[in-house]
A and B are shown apart, each in its own frame.
Chain A
Amino acid sequence: MMDQPSTLELVTAVKEFIEKHAMPQLTGHTAFHARVAANALGIVARELEFGPTASAEELGRLESLLGMKGSLEDLNRELCRRIRTGDIGMTTPGVGEHMRATTIDKVAIDQPTYSGFKAAAKKT
């Protein structure tokens, strides 16, 4: 067991350092890249916080959709394969719900301010 602070706290500390202390001293391209860097750390922080639950739920949905067990990557590859062969399509029961739930969780981590995310989240 690692000592405190947690990885989430460390990443948040670095993000706050960039935003509150480094960025005000930067200009032009470097300031822009610092903002992108802070945003990237925001993704990391949200993934540390919500990723494990999102992945567990995605895995559960994939297992019931495909009727098999495997890693998240293996099952996603299998889902892609079945869509390509036509075994699974848009009207397959559960596909739409799986796509929506999985993608909402991805965007909640990657870009929670995105307009399409707000539109999608309203429906759940």
Chain B
Amino acid sequence: MSNQPDFADALAVAVKRAVPSVTSIAGLKRLSGGASQETWSLDAVGPSGTTPLILRRSPGGKRMERSSVAPSLETEAKAIRLAEKAGVPVPSVPYVLREEDNLGPGYLMGRVEGETIARKILRNPEFAEARPKLARQCGQILARIHTIDPAQIPELKPTDAVSEIEQYRSLYESYDYPHPVFEIAFRWLEERLPDTPPRLTLVHGDFRNGNLMIGPDGVRAVLDWEIVHIGDPASDLGWLCVNSWRFGESQNVVGGFGSVADLLAGYAEAGGKDMTAERVRFWEIFGTLKWGIMCMTMYQAFAKATDRTVERAAIGRRSSETEIDLVNLLFPSA
């Protein structure tokens, strides 16, 4: 990274703008993960101590073409700030990058300590007391996200069940490779679209193990607001139930740690409206299908030579895990 000294200098100037009385930055390192954005860890150092921070910015500081649904980094930062006001545990966002920072689009947020790796959260003894509480907490947190007034963030694009199903059907069809189980799942969903479309709300869009920072005390922060949008609130609850995010603890439908009853109880407690196990199940089935098609999409990046890693190639073979989950969901007695 030849331009790293320039980058570090520019970042130090931005951090001084963001956090008063900061004199320097330390411990700058690029974090793995987050394929579509750059994520950096750093400490802001001042006379009163250090502030642990995360920088999220577009790759190389260039403004990228985003997919039609994905919001800009500025909008993402705005959504996190609205969530914080609504009582959602999130890292605070002290600063959104400006033109004069010369770092491209992005923002600084607090670095929250905790664990995001599902296998540790679901198995390690230090989370034993937290685990039984997590489903209820997730319900409460989602209810708070869903009560944020969408009019406060008109930049976000709305998408309902009909348009989501259409979007993933056309993606699937563009790959031109037959998956009879996916065809059955599309039909099942299309035949069960609600007669009266539900009220659309702000939804996180990727609320699952891996994007939840967990401590021994429970959920500490909801991360990765990359695909926040306006949609059916039940989609957030259903996505959390997709078997792939249970990491082997299939008996606990919600994230491998809890029950739908606890999730719904927490949701209602925090003011969430009109949520039913049936709506959650619809979106669990959609989410399972969606993850299967996302695996096909990631394989396409390999096939089209844009990402020739063995990881991208092999993930295409994870489509079948979603097919077996769909078979278990749709043909329980076959």
A111-B328 contact given A80-B180, A89-B187, CB 8 Å threshold: no
Chain A residues with Cβ below 8 Å from B325 are 116
> In the complex, A119→B180 CA distance in Å?
20
- Interface bracket on B: 20 to 34
Out of B188, B246, B314, B334, which one reaches A100, CB within 8 Å? B334
Out of A90, A100, A106, which one reaches B320, CB within 8 Å? A106
* B63 CB-CB contact with A under 8 Å: no
Contact digits for A19-63, partner B, Cβ 8 Å, 1 yes 0 no: 000000000010011001101100100000000000000000000
A120-B180 contact given A100-B331, A100-B334, CB 8 Å threshold: no
Out of A33, A102, A110, which one reaches B321, CB within 8 Å? A110
CB closest residue in chain A, given B256: A115
A84-B183 contact given A37-B310, A115-B248, CB 8 Å threshold: yes
Chain B residues with Cβ below 8 Å from A36 are 310-311, 314
Q: Is the CB of A33 within 8 A of B248?
A: no
A114-B180 contact given A40-B310, A96-B331, A119-B250, CB 8 Å threshold: no
- Interface bracket on A: 35 or more
Chain A residues with Cβ below 8 Å from B183 are 79-80, 83-84
Chain B residues with Cβ below 8 Å from A104 are 324
Least CB distance, B75 to chain A, in whole angstroms: 31
Chain B residues with Cβ below 8 Å from A107 are 320-321, 323-324
Contact digits for B315-334, partner A, Cβ 8 Å, 1 yes 0 no: 00110110111011011011
Contact digits for A93-104, partner B, Cβ 8 Å, 1 yes 0 no: 001110110111
CB closest residue in chain A, given B311: A36
Chain A residues with Cβ below 8 Å from B321 are 107, 110-111, 114, 116-117
A–B pairs, 12, beta carbons within 8 Å: A33-B311, A36-B314, A73-B178, A79-B183, A80-B183, A83-B180, A96-B327, A114-B321, A114-B324, A116-B321, A116-B328, A117-B324
Besides the contacts A29-B32, A36-B310, A97-B334, what 18 more A-B pairs have beta carbons closer than 8 Å?
A32-B311, A37-B310, A40-B313, A40-B317, A43-B317, A83-B183, A89-B184, A90-B184, A90-B188, A96-B333, A99-B334, A100-B334, A103-B181, A110-B318, A110-B321, A111-B318, A111-B321, A117-B324
